[in-house]
Amino acid sequence: MHFADRLTDVVLRMKAPCVINLDPVFEKLPDAFTAAGRATPPPAARLQSIEAFAAGVIEAIAGIIPAVKINSAYFEIYGADGVASYHRLLKTARDAGLLTIGDVKRGDVGHTAEMYAAAHLSDSALPDPDTLAMPDAVTVSGYFGLDGVAPFIDVARREERGVFVLVRTSNKSAAAIQDVATADGRKVHEVVAAQVARWAADANTAGHHGYSSIGAVVATRNADDAARLRKAMPQSIFLVPGYGAQGGRAEDFLSYFDADGKGAIIAAGRSVIFAHADASLRARCGDDWSACVRTACEDFVADIRRAARL
Amino acid sequence: MHFADRLTDVVLRMKAPCVINLDPVFEKLPDAFTAAGRATPPPAARLQSIEAFAAGVIEAIAGIIPAVKINSAYFEIYGADGVASYHRLLKTARDAGLLTIGDVKRGDVGHTAEMYAAAHLSDSALPDPDTLAMPDAVTVSGYFGLDGVAPFIDVARREERGVFVLVRTSNKSAAAIQDVATADGRKVHEVVAAQVARWAADANTAGHHGYSSIGAVVATRNADDAARLRKAMPQSIFLVPGYGAQGGRAEDFLSYFDADGKGAIIAAGRSVIFAHADASLRARCGDDWSACVRTACEDFVADIRRAARL
């Protein structure tokens, strides 16, 4: 079934336009995962702890959140073993009933883009489908133009998957490039947004909710920009980072949603997965790290639910 | 030793401002590598053939070319096994005396960018340095601003490596974004170029040849744009794709070099590594695919040497 419809259906059913980022680093894991052994375990042992922890997070949040986003970088740092772990966790998440987004942010052109699209979105590149999975959608850079994104769109259409095109990133120094004024009075990221809108219209993949499987990553904290981008890309579901540890509050995300509370999913990461480090959560949930994760996730969903008026 | 100096020294010594792209696909390999077995061997066997072929290319061109660029996408499509193969080939190339560029084109921000920088440029992330290597330099997207690139610059400084920042890609649809006019009369890619020049100046890493370890990927076919970019980024070595199979001829690359023939390396891929498929080369070199590769590489170097007046 159509990715944007699958995502929107579950968002509406759970009243939760939300996604949890799995960006785990060994040093921040709960004691139960770091205490097993020496002060500095070898990389293979660290990766094993990270994978066990991430699987625990998936178990804790399944049923209260529609989707997880797994950040490839945090696994690539473990080389080939990390890549295997990334695809195993995608399988774990899928088996737990979650939609999955692979945060790979690949950006290249021509035949190389075709290779990346197959490598990161197509089941055809999966060595062992019994233990590994591809994500339901991936993040892709939009700054190289259509032929950087077209191969991902092709796979998405063929295998009912989704693509989130990077339009505006959240970092401070992004403005020096992405917010530069163009001769026709736009900002550079609006040029990319207009392209994404055209790709989504041309791909003609709008589902029954009116949204295409070609979404956008939009991370501006500027409410005017956000509202302009919402209008500029009417068919795209926005993947919006920045909640919680990155400083965003629910009211900052109001302008990302359409009038029905659809069209955006807000991402939270560290504030949920490392909830055990939050003293006020521990006071409510005790020393059970997974209870803290679940509670933090429930708080996050409730907060965003209000903002989206769902 | 300083990456830009190492690269420039060997370019001048060999009179070869050149790099060979290793972007191997199974279907295009010489018969010796595809004939071993069934019509469609399993992925592991295909990857093995690709790795053996790539190692053979490295052996054929070592001594006549300063560097190879290995494209991560062509290995990522084989999942975890492909990633291991990529790092083994980097070791093979380094052991053969070649400088290596990892064409990974990662682009992300904040802590994720730090993870990618470590994962793809730092020896600290290498599980087994006896059999695997990191590249001497990597390609990185420049469109997310300084904090997307800074972690790579940090690793490059600490471990004497290089970074090539994507400024202008070679694909047709790139113009719709990268060539858009800004309010102050530039093109968007010139905004990125100005940033790269500033990062290179701030990093203060110019070596004895006057070039910084912060280079740029510049692939425009527009000679005016190329000349402007050469002036805009005086400290950056340009990595320039497009020779041969991509249609570029030596005279197209003139404006990339400085007056001393330094400051750029031109990349060729398919026209060299798949030389066995070129009937005119086979007529000269016979059925020995590696002799064809070596001859094609020598032709390429001689052609670029003339253009750079070395």
User: Could you tell me the domains of chain B?
Assistant: 3-308 (3.20.20.70)
Instruction: Please check the confidence at residue A25 and state whether its pLDDT lies above 60.
Output: yes
- Chain B residues with CB inside 8 Å of A180's CB? 182-183, 188, 191
Residues in B touching A185 (Cβ below 8 Å): 183
B245 touches chain A (CB under 8 A): no
Taking the CA atoms of chain B, what radius of gyration do you get in angstroms?
19
| Nearest residue to A168 via CA among A224, A251, A113 | A224
In whole angstroms, how far apart are CA B128 and each of A79, A172, B84?
Answer: 10, 36, 10
pLDDT computed for residue A35 by the predictor: 81
User: Is B172–A120 a contact, with Cβ atoms under 8 angstroms apart?
Assistant: no
Residues in chain B predicted with pLDDT less than 70, given as ranges, are: 36-39
CA A100 to each of CA A62, A103, A160, A268: distance values in angstroms, whole numbers, following the listed order = 12, 9, 13, 14
Q: Is A105 a catalytic residue?
A: yes
Kindly name the residue from A105, A172, A231, A262 that is annotated as catalytic.
Answer: A105
By percentage, how much of chain A surpasses pLDDT 90? 87
Q: Which of A103-112, A296-305, B65-74, B251-260 comes out lowest in average pLDDT?
A: B251-260
- The reported pLDDT for the residue numbered A37 is 56
DSSP-derived 3-state class of residue B236 = coil
Q: Which of B25, B89, B112, B191 to mutate to test the interface with A (most CBs of A within 10 A)?
A: B112
Give the torsion sign (CA, A102, A73, B133, A80). Answer: negative
Mean pLDDT, residues A105-111 taken together: 94
Beta A18-22 vs A264-268: how paired, if at all?
Answer: parallel
A180–B180 CB contact, under 8 Å = no
Are the C-beta atoms of residues B258 and B229 closer than 8 Å to each other? no
- This model of the complex carries an ipTM of 0.96
* A171 in reach of chain B (CB within 8 A): yes
pLDDT at B222: 87
Which residues lie closer than 8 Å to B273 by C-beta, 6 or more apart? Answer: B20, B21, B22, B23, B24, B57, B293
pLDDT the model gives residue A38 = 58
B141 CB neighbour count, 10 Å cutoff: 27
Tell me what pLDDT residue B99 has: 98
Angle (nearest 5°) at CA A269 between A226 and A218 = 20
Is B188 an interface residue toward A (CB < 8 Å)?
yes
Distances in whole angstroms, Cα of residue A75 to Cα of each of A83, A164, B298: 6, 20, 40
Please report the pLDDT score of residue B247 as a whole number. Answer: 79
**pLDDT, position A250:** 86
CA distance B187 to B170: 15
C-alpha torsion angle, residues B34, B37, B40, B42 (rounded to 10): -100
Structure letter (DSSP) for residue A62: B
**Helix-helix angle B188-203:A188-203, to 10 degrees:** 130
User: CB-based contact (8 Å) between A106 and chain B?
Assistant: yes
- The residue of A171, A196, A217, A246 whose CB has the most chain B CBs within 10 angstroms, and thus the best one to mutate to test that interface, is A171
If you average pLDDT over residues A141-151, what whole number do you get? 95
pTM: 0.97
CA–CA separation, A24 vs A38, rounded Å? 19
Contact across the interface for B145 and A176, Cβ inside 8 Å: yes
Is A40's pLDDT higher than 90? no
Structure tokens at B119: 């994962």
From the number of C-beta atoms within 10 Å of its C-beta (0-12, 13-18, 19+), residue A123 rates as middle
